[in-house]
């Protein structure tokens, strides 16, 4: 009789990971000979810049970088991250107690609930959202309470309307601005209300700031940590993936409340051995030059955004230009409601990959997300294909 492995109940509760499913559909299309134009995963198409490669080459030749990283990571990297936070947001942090290197911000986000959530505790999660907010909660045995993000409300969660019974069991609230998938930015007043509310109810703010440097207006996106009192109730996640085209390098850092950073460190010290020190040294140079580099990449993404938004409007999409991130998030045209079916047909009949809004949560149904990580020539080609498809 064959031996059958039984998966854990927690694993069974997880839906298929959105971008894995998209990648599989993309591969199947290519196997059929389709010339795919991929607006799916938010993975910058431009290579990691040379100044980062040079820093890695230098660091990797130093024998001392080849050992296990210390549990708190490379001290010089933590100091550089703290200096970057100070320069960018005007917030002073202790690099020895309030900064923690991560194997990409996704890793830290997914591990955070293990540090604070017991079975039956609640995590407040925006809907739509980046999937690891949910999966990390489920792995920790927690319960998810969804906060719908509505276009008419600027895609901001109405956290003050969380029911009292849920609020009593809530331990963490995830926020993400600039927002994936919507591209929205949160104003200062939102963060001020959030900090007061979180302090009153003893809820940890987990702020995902992966897209802080991808914006198109003169006003820079804020950090929650800029708000008085926030450092006591907030842990913030930063990533070099989007800021410096380092998606494959897997490096980022957490910053904020010492107790939260230390608790996350205790989880990590039991499940991983940290970021390769040579990569941390390369990341130091990335942070030093990130402001000038982001200025160039944002100019590129803005051209792509304007081209795509103009074209989508001409095709009947009720699209509004996104003020931040490299995503265009729009309702489907012509009153279409089923985003999964729409994206399936789009791929099968035009070879264009886009992400169905419902893949980010129930409140994303009826929307579609396009990543601006393809060259302008391919954007033009995609618009031609979609016009013929109509």
What digits encode the pLDDT tens for the residues 97-111? 999 999 999 999 999
- DSSP3 helix / strand / coil % (the chain, rounded to 5): 50, 15, 35
**What are the distances in angstroms from CA 236 to CA 94, 117, 205, 255?**
14, 18, 8, 5
Q: Residue 236 forms beta bridges with which residues?
A: 207, 255
pLDDT reading at 135 higher than 90 = yes
Look up the pTM and report it.
Answer: 0.95
Mean pLDDT, rounded, for 111-118: 98
Predicted pLDDT at 19: 65
Q: Is 34 exposed, middle or buried, given 0-12, 13-18 or 19+ CB atoms closer than 10 A?
A: middle
Q: What is the mean pLDDT of residues 326-342?
A: 94
Of 345 and 23, the one with more pLDDT: 345
Of residues 110 and 42, more confidence is placed in 110
The answer to whether 204 and 116 are in contact (CB under 8 A) is yes
- The model's confidence at residue 335, banded by pLDDT at 50, 70 and 90, is confident
Q: Per-domain residue ranges for the chain?
A: 10-47+292-389, 50-289
User: 234-239 and 252-256 as β-strands: parallel, antiparallel, unpaired?
Assistant: antiparallel
From the options 3.90.1150.10, 1.20.1240.10, 3.90.550.10, 2.60.40.10, give the CATH code of 10-47+292-389: 3.90.1150.10
Q: Options 3.40.630.30, 3.40.50.720, 1.20.1270.10, 3.40.640.10; which CATH number does 50-289 get?
A: 3.40.640.10
Residues with Cβ < 8 Å from 237, sequence gap 6 or more?
102, 105, 108, 109, 206, 207, 208, 209, 210, 252, 253, 254
190-220 pLDDT tens trace:
999 999 999 999 999 999 999 999 999 988 9
């Amino acid at each position: 009789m064959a031996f059958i492995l039984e998966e854990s109940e927690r694993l069974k509760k997880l839906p298929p990971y959105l971008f894995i499913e998209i990648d599989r559909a993309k591969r199947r299309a290519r196997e059929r000979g389709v010339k795919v134009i991929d607006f799916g995963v938010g993975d910058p198409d431009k290579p990691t810049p040379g100044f980062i490669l040079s820093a890695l080459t230098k660091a990797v030749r130093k024998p001392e970088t080849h050992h296990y990283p210390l549990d708190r990571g490379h001290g010089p990297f933590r100091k550089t991250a703290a200096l970057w936070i100070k320069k960018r947001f005007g917030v002073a942090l202790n690099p020895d107690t309030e900064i923690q290197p991560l194997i990409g911000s996704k890793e830290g986000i997914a591990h955070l609930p293990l540090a604070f959530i017991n079975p039956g505790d609640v995590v407040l999660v925006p809907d739509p959202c980046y999937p690891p907010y949910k999966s990390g909660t489920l792995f920790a045995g927690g319960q998810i309470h969804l906060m719908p993000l509505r276009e008419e409300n600027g895609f901001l969660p109405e956290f003050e309307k969380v029911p009292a019974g849920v609020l009593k069991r809530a331990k963490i609230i995830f926020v993400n601005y600039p927002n994936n998938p919507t591209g929205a930015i949160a104003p200062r007043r939102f963060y001020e209300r959030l900090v007061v509310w979180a302090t009153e109810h003893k809820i940890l703010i987990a702020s995902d700031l992966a897209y802080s440097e991808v914006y198109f207006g003169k006003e820079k996106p804020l950090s929650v940590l800029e708000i008085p009192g926030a450092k006591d109730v907030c842990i913030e996640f930063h990533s070099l993936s989007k800021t410096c085209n380092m998606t494959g390098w897997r490096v980022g850092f957490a910053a904020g409340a010492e107790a939260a950073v230390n608790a996350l460190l205790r989880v990590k010290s039991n499940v991983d051995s940290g970021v390769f020190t040579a990569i941390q040294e390369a990341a130091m140079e990335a942070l030093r030059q990130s402001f000038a580099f982001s200025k160039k990449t944002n100019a590129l993404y803005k051209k792509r955004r304007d081209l795509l938004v103009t074209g989508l409007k001409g095709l009947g999409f009720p699209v509004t230009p996104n003020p931040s991130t490299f995503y265009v998030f729009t309702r489907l045209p012509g009153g279409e409601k089923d985003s999964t079916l729409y994206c399936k047909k789009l791929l099968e009949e035009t070879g264009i990959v886009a992400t169905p809004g419902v893949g980010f949560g129930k409140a994303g149904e009826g929307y579609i997300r396009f990543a601006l990580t393809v060259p302008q020539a391919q954007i033009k080609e995609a618009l031609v294909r979609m016009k013929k498809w109509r």
